[in-house]
Amino acid sequence: MTQADRDIERLIELMARLPGLGPRSARRAALHLIKKRGQVMAPLAEVMGRVAATVRDCAACGNLATGDLCDICRDPARATGEICVVEDVADLWALERGQVFRGRYHVLGGTLSALDGIGPEDLRIPVLIRRIADEGVREVILALGATVDGQTTAHYIAEALAEAAVEVSTLAQGVPVGGELDYLDEGTISAALRARRRV
């Protein structure tokens, strides 16, 4: 086996580790890249190298950044006194896509999980408490999943902030846009019914 063969095998092996790809689809993707090495592979490799070298966690919120602070934390217009707490960067991106929230974020990096041994010290909760004092935050919005782990984390944070002079809120739960009651699970329907409002 030549060095080139070994490199291609290594490329396939690494691509097979990506989410959504197995050994067979990684082989197909690698072959596609090799065939289009000028148009796709070389620019992709260049961008990947650059991202790997420059991207780091934002020192304030935990979002992805190319400097010490991410674009959102650097933007003075987003210092609205509101912090939205999310589990992961993917959740932050989801909220940004909505273009509704104009405050800042705080990425926890996971949720509390007794069974997986993830405790408060493993999440960025102490940094959040420090930020609330330093940045003059008025409201903390807990945008965590409506799961057992997500809500356990939300209740824990709400309790940790009980002494702080800050309003703590959570996202509403209920019928999604385009949702039909017939297709909703019992938990969502009961949450929606509990959170009903006058029209």
Partner 1 sequence: MDWREEGILLAVRPHGEHAAIIEVFTRDHGRHAGVVRGGAARRMAPILQPGAELDLAWRARLEDHIGTFEVEPVRSRSAILSDADALAGLGAVCALVIRSLPERDPHPQLHAATRALLDAMAAGAGDWPLAYLRWELGLLEDLGYGLDLSACAVTGSAEGLCYVSPRTGRAVSRAGAGDWADRLLPLPPCLLGQGPATAEEIVAGLTTTGHFLARLAADLADRPLPEARNRLVARLSRRI
Side-chain-side CA neighbours of residue 131 (13 Å) = 23
Residue closer to partner 1 by CB (options 82, 149) is: 149
Q: How far is the CB of 147 from partner 1 (least distance, A)?
A: 6
- Asked if residues 95 and 101 have their Cβ atoms less than 8 Å apart, the reply is yes
Residue closer to partner 1 by CB (options 95, 146) is: 146
Tokens for 72, please give them. 């959102």
Q: Which of residues 111-170 bind partner 1 (CB under 8 A)?
A: 114-115, 117, 119, 146-148, 151-152, 155, 158-159
- Asked if residues 174 and 116 have their Cβ atoms less than 8 Å apart, the reply is no
DSSP 8-state assignment for residue 176: P
Tokens for 162, please give them. 């009980």
Residue closer to partner 1 by CB (options 119, 126) is: 119
The amino acid present at 45, given as its one-letter code, is A
Size of the site for partner 1 (CB under 8 A): 21
- Asked if residues 142 and 85 have their Cβ atoms less than 8 Å apart, the reply is yes
The amino acid present at 97, given as its one-letter code, is R
DSSP 8-state assignment for residue 174: S
Q: How far is the CB of 98 from partner 1 (least distance, A)?
A: 18
| Candidate ranges 6-14, 75-83, 101-109, 179-187; the one touching partner 1 (CB under 8 A) | 179-187
| Candidate ranges 40-48, 91-99, 126-134, 188-196; the one touching partner 1 (CB under 8 A) | 188-196
Binding residues for partner 1, rule: CB under 8 A, are 19-20, 114-115, 117, 119, 146-148, 151-152, 155, 158-159, 185-188, 190-191, 194
